[in-house]
């Protein structure tokens, strides 16, 4: 699979985040219902997760459902929730075999009871795994995450647990859903759209962005390797000059 791109194992992103987009268009191309596209996307999830685990990527975050996606037709939302539930159950052995720890970010309270139970059951069963952390962004929106963080911080100020002067990047980071994760190094979006769609606004401040025309159900290990290869050719300057980095 990786014969076309030789990846430098010394320079792998620590945290890859993927906006899995294009399921609906993929299904439409075959004259099928959108839900068929979502179901077909599960295979891409499995392949990507296994490929990242093989590369020993530490953190993989998958944008599976946004706060805005609740506004889709009920039929589609219900289909997505049942695909989520079934896949969690089905993929548990793969997670155990690959030593993967499941995590979630987003407003889990919004999820239907059965889906939430299934999710936290798998999180519990994989909590002692020490390999890759796989985070599902479910009912996730960066703005909602920031609003929740601001409220928590205000509460701490109000109750004299925190001084306004002490609010800094670290304090804000420690109130985000991603408090136990490093920032995203590489954000991939499939399907040709070039936007962030309310994903990891804070955490992707210095991420390298990679866009591909490939629709999510067609995304394979080779496409992941292409994205990482592109990442490895870039110089991450973090505001400095190229000379300073030498």
Rounded CA-CA distance 65/35 in Å is: 14
- Footprint of Mg ion on this chain (CB under 5 A)? 21
Is residue 145 within 8 Å of 181, Cβ to Cβ?
no
Q: What are phi and psi of 80, to 5 degrees?
A: -60, -40
Between 53 and 188, name the residue whose CB sits nearer to Mg ion. Answer: 188
To the nearest whole angstrom, how small is the minimum distance from the Cβ of residue 21 to Mg ion?
4
Q: Is 217 in the site for ligand IPE (CB under 6 A)?
A: no
How far, in Å, are 39, 76, 104, 216, 225 from residue 83 at the CA level? Answer: 7, 10, 16, 15, 27
To the nearest whole angstrom, how small is the minimum distance from the Cβ of residue 116 to ligand IPE?
17
x/- binding map, residues 74-93, to ligand IPE, per CB under 6 A? ------x-------------
Closest residue to bound ligand IPE by CB = 24
> Which of 197, 229, 230, 232 is in the footprint of ligand IPE by CB under 6 A?
197
How far, in Å, are 53, 55, 220, 225 from residue 4 at the CA level? Answer: 20, 16, 14, 9
Between 12 and 48, name the residue whose CB sits nearer to ligand IPE. Answer: 48
Three-state DSSP state, 107: coil
Between 66 and 135, name the residue whose CB sits nearer to Mg ion. Answer: 66
Is residue 227 within 8 Å of 17, Cβ to Cβ?
no
Contacts of 77 (CB under 8 A, 6+ apart): 69, 70
Question: Can you read off the two tokens belonging to residue 216?
Answer: 């999510």
To the nearest whole angstrom, how small is the minimum distance from the Cβ of residue 146 to ligand IPE?
17
Q: Is 191 in the site for ligand IPE (CB under 6 A)?
A: yes
Number of Cβ within 10 Å of residue 65's Cβ equals 23
127 is in the binding site of which of ligand IPE, Mg ion, none (Cβ under 5 to 8 A by kind)? none
Q: Is 54 in the site for ligand IPE (CB under 6 A)?
A: no
For ligand IPE, the binding residues (CB under 6 A) are 19-25, 63-66, 69, 80, 191, 193, 195, 197, 216
């Amino acid at each position: 699979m990786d014969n076309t791109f030789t990846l430098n194992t010394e320079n792998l992103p620590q945290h890859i985040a993927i906006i899995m987009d294009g399921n609906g268009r993929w299904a439409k191309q075959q004259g099928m219902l959108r839900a068929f596209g979502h179901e077909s996307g599960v295979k891409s999830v499995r392949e990507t997760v296994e490929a990242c685990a093989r590369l020993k990527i530490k953190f993989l975050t998958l944008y599976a459902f946004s706060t805005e996606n609740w506004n889709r037709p009920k039929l589609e939302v219900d289909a997505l929730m049942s695909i989520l539930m079934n896949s969690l159950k089905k993929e548990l052995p793969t997670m155990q075999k690959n030593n993967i720890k499941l995590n979630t970010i987003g407003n889990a309270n919004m999820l239907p009871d059965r889906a939430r139970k299934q999710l936290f059951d798998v999180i519990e069963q994989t909590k002692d795994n020490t390999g890759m952390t796989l985070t599902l962004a479910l009912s996730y929106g960066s703005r909602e995450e920031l609003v929740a963080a601001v409220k928590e911080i205000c509460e701490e100020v109000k109750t004299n647990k925190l001084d306004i002067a002490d609010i800094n990047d670290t304090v804000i980071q420690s109130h985000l859903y991603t408090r136990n994760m490093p920032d995203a190094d590489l954000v991939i979006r499939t399907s040709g759209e070039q936007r962030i769609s309310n994903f990891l606004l804070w955490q992707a401040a210095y991420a390298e962005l990679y866009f591909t025309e490939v629709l999510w159900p067609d995304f394979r290990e080779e496409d992941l390797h292409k994205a990482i290869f592109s990442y490895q050719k870039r110089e991450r300057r973090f505001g400095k000059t190229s000379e300073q980095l030498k």
